[in-house]
Structure 1
Amino acid sequence: MAYETYYWSTSLMSKAIESQPDGEPLRAQIDHKLLCQVATDRDVAGKAEYYHALAQVAREQLARRWVETQHADRANKARRVYYLSMEFLIGRAMNNALSALDLREQAATVFTPPGPSLNEVMECEPDAALGNGGLGRLAACFLDSMATLGLPSWGYGVRYEYGMFAQSIVNGQQVEKPEAWVQDRSPWEFPRAGRHHTVHFGGSAEHSGDWAEWHPADSVEAKAFDHVIPGHGTDRVSTLRLWKAAAPSEIDLGAFNTGDYQRAAEFKNRFENISWVLYPNDSTSAGRELRLRQEYFFVSASMQDILSRHDDEYGSFDNLADKVAIHLNDTHPAIGVAELMRLLVDEHGLKWNAAWEQCRRIFSYTNHTLMPEALETWKVTLMQRVLPRHMLIIYRINHEFLDEVVRLYPGDIDLMRRVSLIDDGNGHEKDKRVRMAHLSIVGSHRINGVSQLHSDLMVQTIFADFARLYPERFHNKTNGVTPRRWLAQSNLGLSALLDERIGKEWRLDLDRLEGLRSVADDAAFGKAFAAAKRDNKLRLADYVAREVGVSLNPDSLFDVQVKRIHEYKRQLLNVLHVITRYNALLNGETAGVAPRSIIFAGKAASSYHMAKQVIRLINDVAAVVNNDPRTRDLLQVAFIPNYGVSVAELIMPAANLSEQISTAGTEASGTGNMKLSLNGALTIGTEDGANIEIRDQVGADNIFIFGNNTAQVAALRQTGYQPSELYQNDPVLKEALDKIDGGFFSPGERSRYHDVFNCLVHYGDHYLLLADYADYVATQARVDALYLTPAEWQRKAILNVAGMGTFSADRTIRDYADDTWKLQTLTNRGTAQ
């Protein structure tokens, strides 16, 4: 369907919606939806039926806003940003939609006894399993801010049938199950029957000058499903368009008719598995190929969609870079650089140089890692087999880029080798790889890191050569989080307290939190602040008792580390502290020790053995500690399974202490640190990522910084770090490690954690846990002392909230809009602001 026809159809839909009066009381609207959409009535409706009816009421209003937003953008010939990401961890939609539509308070009055409460109704919604961790949650926060700020914007990603996986803990071990979040159709998505694009794979490409003809071996259809992302304080919305893979035909009918039913089904599955699972296990060659196909699938469909919209509006691509900004969220969508060139040159007849000039003005790229091993690369042989035309394009881009390097730095062969888009594999053809971060940099006009430290290190280390070539391209955009979901919606008690003290405007202007500084020493405010925190702790304790079977003391210090399980995030350092604390308590060292509940949550990648071992160790330690009557009143440990947005919405408001303890120089930014501090948790952390900027904002006296900084980490590694010496010379550390190695926490399998012990003591301790251990334990003692002085703890917690204004995603997106994307804000009435 052409976009002109599409917009006429949405215009008619808008008129149809307007003919349906929504001025009726919310109760009547819900009853109407119960009858017409759910085919039941209030006398027999259960929580699930009420959920779907309420969702349909909100959906109808969001549909109107979507139509009006698209008309306004089209009428204003708006420059749009298209945000490409493999992950959008949007979580549940109901609470956010009701808040944006200003319906939450009304809905709460509708759902009263003897029927279900609004919270019970909202809990019927599964989390949208479209992401894994910080990368995907950041993208979701950004879409929220784009809509709230009135920026013409679209997100593009994959409509996964299953999320990464649903995590359960069985006998202390992570067990992965399919996370079928859309097994019942989601009321929040709008299938777009008229929007689909064909994506090709394999075959061969014949090259002739600028142009080439690709003869693909396979093709798959990408079908569009839209999620409307509402803005707050505005009628504007953003669109998240997700692509589902569909076979060219449902089954191989010939195979079916001959009785070969298995082959008939395989035909369908071979195409549609592309959008089945977020991050398929890439430890096998088949998994790696599926991952590449998945990335190209959503990028190609998105590029075709963007060009179709632009061609419909302008009939020419001469002004493409003036009207289109495309942002690459990490390197997963980096193949978009080559795909846009293919479409412009091969499909639309642009000359190579004209297409490349447009391309370099259109793309921008956010880097999310400083670890070279985490930068995405693909074997050239795999790329040639799956995307032969794109490999030719990448070779040409690389050739012209290296010619540019030679002109600037003649004779510097080492520089050319380092910056080449192709890693030459030391001359071995089978080892050659395409460096996707290099492709992103060469094809983009702006490249940013996500915290000031990360951005500084990025141009000093992994991209130093590119920063020398293109210094004007590199800049910083410190991450942010949306205050609507992460404070207003998830922490009702604190939000009400803020409304009373500083007004409600903080939801759209988080800098207003600065007003709390004047009441940090107010005893009455501190008492109310502590009461709100305790209510949140009770709520989390109830959840942990139900889901984990551990009874947490709500008056204990809730010490929280919730994030993806990874060695560099150093959950294992936290475990060492738990064991050290346990040993001290057994030795009668209870003076000055605050009761503490240590809470972990996070998923380990299915093929990541060491991360899974850490999860098992946490649960083994918890089993011992929680069942020891000698220590139970002072120490409890809980691992909360299946961490996601909804679980985080329980944990963040309840936390007293935020563990941000990655090895300095490894965490790009972090956003969990921001969410926790925003909800009044104090941070214990290294000088890493955004911890440094949080310290600058909340004050060095109101955060617990420990450990080696980035320069000291580099010096330790350079001079020959010897963790075994630390082990031998620190009896407290040795006792903790010996209990792990000796099977104290795994009596049925005493050798279970030999590999964990050896990695730390004998195999180099790559992330320097033992180097930071002593300072970490000493800093934790300072945490205890402060917690045992409640008034001073509350004062510092209030100052943490007061200092979080700059960490709003709204601020981050304004920076992107002004500096990178060059966007104007719009209203649905069509006036530019």
Structure 2
Amino acid sequence: MFSSKEEFKKSFITRIESKDMRKTTELAYEILWEMTCEWIKESWDRTNGLYKENDEKQLYYFSIEFLIGRVLGQNLMNINAYHIVKEGLDELGFQLSEVEELEVEPGLGNGGLGRLAACFMDSLASLQLPGHGYGLRYKGGLFTQHFVNGYQTEQPTEWIQEEHNADARREDLAIDIPYYGDVQLVMGIDGLKMKVENSEWVKAVPYDMPIVGANGGTVNTLRLWQAEVSNLPFPGDKDYLVYEQETAKITDRLYPDDSLESGKILRLKQQYFLCSASLQDILNNRSFSMEKLPENVAIQINDTHPALAVPELMRLLIDDHHLTWEQAWDITTRTISYTNHTILEEAMEKWDSRLIQSLLPRVYTIIEEIDKRFKESLETQTIDEETFRKLSIIENGVIKMAVLAVVGSYKVNGVAKLHTEILKKREMKELNEQFPNKFHNKTNGIAHRRWLVKANQELSGLITETIGPRWIEEPERLNELHYFAQNHSFLQDFQAIKTLKKEQLLYHLQRNENIIVDSASIFDIHIKRVHGYKRQLMNIMHIQMLCDRIKQDSTYRPHPRTFFFGGKAAPSYHFAKQVIKMINTVAVKVNNDPLLRKHLYIVFVENYNVTQAEYLIPAADVSEQISTASKEASGTGNMKLMMNGALTIGTLDGANVEIFEQAGQENAFVFGMRAEEVMQYEKEQSYDPKEIINSDPEIKKMMKQLVDGEWTEGKENVDFIVGQLLEDRDPYFVLKDIHSYSNAHERILAAYANPVKWAEMCVKNIAASGIFSSDRTIQQYSNDVWHLTKIPSVY
């Protein structure tokens, strides 16, 4: 690492002149990438050496997603070289921001689940804790989103390049993973043992990515597995070309379409591939006896995608390391902990027993045995049939992965206080009663070094100038900003920065799209995965109501607002894809109407990802967190937007509840039903949206326009939406909450009319946001669950 700008410039010039006299931005990127990798490798090697020398307990975080975003700029920031490099490149005729734009964002995640995993990796390294990630190296990512006539289309994400990738291949650590085969009983030294013959093998090749902590001292590892053809004997009853193609698919795409059985098998292959490769890697590289595994290793499974880690660890301990069932179960249930991320029934993974029995025959026998033994332990209790059913891992030919994960782990956590209480009292009530000390809460957090220090350097600079730099290492010190929430000079500086971030966002968007937006308008931002419970539909229906009001009422001329949307719909989720089409169609109508566009403008940001978020979040005035109460586990976008001085319009759902507690409801715009009301309606099945439609002229008119296809270029583009609102009885209570939502928007307009008061509210939100740093979350995990020891870097 260079200690001065001049030292950096000297080295950079030497390298650029040795390569090519043409001083292009592409060449500058190539050289800067090489220099950064060299700086990081030194710390990476030193960290790995310290871990071996100290021989302390290490954490391994299993996640199907790691939405890490671009790494060049963030790594420069974390090794304290960003400003040296920026100033040095400026003087050499380059712009660091333009150099950063050349990096292709890795296609390793989709939404909050993956971004949380990435934030956790950042915090583990920054807190100097020995914690690493295991994931999959998806060649085509989730997908790259494009809009064609308003419809979402999906193309593979081409992020893997021949050089300048963020990860390094480790062929020497490749592992073979078995699928299919026949389970046989064989006589061994210790008696009868299970053995699988005629398996189909797939090679897992690891690619290692450095995770650089704050100040660059600790560099942990994210290990990503890539599926390749194995060198082990190939089963002769299958065509080799088919085997080759099926192998490549395992790490081709994140979340393959599982509407058909072939897609379900592929998802199972992915999940087992992640679990088996990662567990074998951990066991192969241990320096302690197997009985000491729980004292030396903590494994956290991020949702149920890696829940097969429970039976797979049992398989490895019993079949490969010759432990008894009792020994293996004791080790497994003291090593694995589980994070639940949902209370939606559809997201509680369940698999057809037949599929797992065919694909993973030995693993299936272990799941059967876990289920059998757990049910036997319940026989001593007086349990009714319904409770017994909910506690079953296998029920009517279906394997319930969440139950398997709970039974096979030593700790289970929700990701917000409300979410955890709903798990304990409703969704997993019976399991919580069986394991009363197992469930706990760990409210999510975000990496403030990326989402404030890096993404909003102007605001973080103002904060440091005002309260000093210690908040970067101790983010809860942001609460010192409360003293400046009524400081006129500070508020003016904050407002100037917000305007600048809006202009930067518009410049970013205008490079790719012909967007003309008033930077003085209210930037209202709704960025997240497109799903029914996240209620992008309610947002666009409210905009439709505003359009009608502006057209019909000549006295209603509200302050201009720009509504930004960003997010992808799963390829087979037809409802969500129709919502995207609806938003884009309404956008065309509104943006081209001379009257409407004076007051409303709609932008749907194509292919929303981490890079887009780093522009959108600092520019936001209003943060849309409008999920149906009781449906969002936590949310992390709400925290990022709050930390950047956006005001939340939201329901009392997920981590919103804690955000409102910290910032005060007077500094937000709360609306809608509470979780208890929603759950009561669901229990009684007493909600009928048709009653609302028939009794409310405004909603009735809006629904007629929707049903007639007036805003969607035809009825065929809205049939899934209409079906959900009417035939499915509006399961996310869009029509029930829409007037409350509309009233909250009117309160936003009234508050924005007083710029000083608005800025004061924004600053109070920033001041209250420090508790939502992932540093706090990770330290709580470490103290309460993993019991890791900090290993300081040696410089």
Aligned ranges 1:309-388 → 2 under 5 Å = 309-310=285-286, 313-314=287-288, 316-388=289-361
Residue from 19, 31, 35 that aligns with 1:40: 19
Tell me the residue number matched to 1:643.
Answer: 608
Q: Secondary structure at the match of 2:46?
A: helix
Contact 2:5/2:84 (<8 A) preserved: no
In structure 2, the residue corresponding to 1:798 is in which secondary structure?
Answer: helix
Range with greater deviation from structure 2 (541-550 or 351-360) = 541-550
1:271 alignment partner, one of 228, 243, 247: 247
Q: Establish whether residue 112 from structure 1 lines up as the match of residue 112 from structure 2.
A: no
> Where does 1:63-82 land on structure 2 (aligned, <5 Å)?
63-82=41-60
Residue of structure 2 aligned with 1:668, choices 613, 630, 633 = 633
Counterpart of 2:517 in structure 1 is 552
Q: Secondary structure at the match of 1:576?
A: helix
Counterpart of 2:77 in structure 1 is 99
Q: What is residue 404 of structure 1 aligned with on the other side?
A: 377
The answer for the alignment partner of 1:3 in structure 2 is none
> CA, structure 1 residues 264+441, in 2 after alignment: closer, same or farther (shift >3 Å)?
closer
Percent pairwise identity: 38
| Aligned twin of 1:416 | 388
CA distance in 2, matches of 1:23, 1:587: 61
Candidates 300, 303, 321, aligned match of 2:276: 300
CA distance in 2, matches of 1:392, 1:207: 12
**How many angstroms apart in 2 are the aligned matches of 1:21 and 1:116?**
20
Residue 166 of structure 1 corresponds to which residue in structure 2?
144
The code of the aligned residue for 2:361 comes to: P
Per the alignment, residue 256 of structure 2 pairs with 280
Give the TM-score normalised by structure 2.
0.96
- What letter corresponds to residue 485 of structure 2 in structure 1? A
1:254-265 equivalences under 5 Å are: 265=241
Does 2:181 correspond to 1:203? yes
Question: TM-score scaled to structure 1, two decimals?
Answer: 0.92
User: Is 1:798 equivalent to 2:755 in the alignment?
Assistant: no
Q: Is residue 81–residue 153 contact of structure 1 (8 Å, CA) maintained in 2? A: yes
Indicate conservation of the 8 Å contact 1:83/1:155, yes or no: yes
Q: AA paired with 1:298? A: L
Aligned counterpart in structure 2 of residue 218 of structure 1, from 186, 193, 200: 200
Q: 1:612 to 1:359 in 2, by over 3 A?
A: same
Alignment-derived partner of residue 531 in structure 1: 496
Q: 2:122 maps to what in 1? A: 144
Determine which of 124, 128, 139 is the counterpart of 2:106: 128
Q: Contact (CA 8 Å) 2:449, 2:472: kept in 1 or not?
A: yes
* Mapped partners of 1:50, 1:634: distance in 2: 43
SS at match of 1:112: helix
Closer, same or farther: CA 251–61 of 1 in aligned 2, 3 Å: farther
Q: For 1:782 and 1:49, locate their aligned partners in 2 and report how far apart those are by CA, in whole Å.
A: 51
Secondary structure of 2:263's match? helix
The question of 1:722 aligning with 2:695 is answered: no
Q: Which runs of 5+ in 1 are unaligned?
A: 1-17, 256-261, 425-431
Q: 1:61 aligns with which of 36, 39, 45?
A: 39
The one-letter code sitting in structure 1 at the alignment partner of 2:177 is V
Structure 2: how far apart are the matches of 1:122 and 1:722? Answer: 52
Q: Does structure 1 residue 437 correspond to structure 2 residue 410? A: no
**For residue 339 of structure 2, what is the amino acid of its counterpart?**
T
CA distance in 2, matches of 1:53, 1:497: 32
**Match of 1:248?**
230
What is the correspondence of 1:370-769 to structure 2 with a 5 Å cutoff?
A: 370-407=343-380, 409-410=381-382, 412-424=384-396, 432-591=397-556, 593-717=558-682, 718-747=684-713, 749-769=714-734
Deviation at 1:203? 0.8
Counterpart-to-counterpart distance in 1, 2:251 and 2:510: 36
Equivalent residue, structure 2, for 1:176:
154
| Alpha-carbon contact 1:593-1:785 (below 8 Å) kept | no
Superposed CA offset, 1:89-117 (max 9, x none)? 00000111101111111111222277330
8 A contact 2:557–2:599 mirrored in 1: no
User: In the alignment, residue 369 of structure 1 is paired with which amino acid?
Assistant: T
- Partner SS state of residue 485, structure 1: helix
2:192 is equivalent to residue 192 of structure 1:
no
**Is the deviation greater in 724-733 or in 22-31?**
22-31
1:216, distance to aligned residue in structure 2 (A): 4.2
- Show the counterpart of 2:746: 781
What letter corresponds to residue 356 of structure 2 in structure 1? M
- Separation in 2, partners of 1:500, 1:165: 41
Letter in 2 for 1:40: K
1:112 partner amino acid:
D
1:752 deviation in Å? 2.9
Once the two structures are superposed, what CA deviation does each residue of 1:1-24 show, in whole Å capped at 9, x if it has no partner? Answer: xxxxxxxxxxxxxxxxx9x99998
Q: Residue 535 of structure 2 contacts residue 734 of structure 2 at CA under 8 Å; is this kept in 1?
A: yes
Is the alpha carbon distance of 1:497 and 1:738 closer, same or farther for their aligned partners in structure 2, counting shifts above 3 Å? same
Q: Which runs of 5+ in 2 are unaligned?
A: none
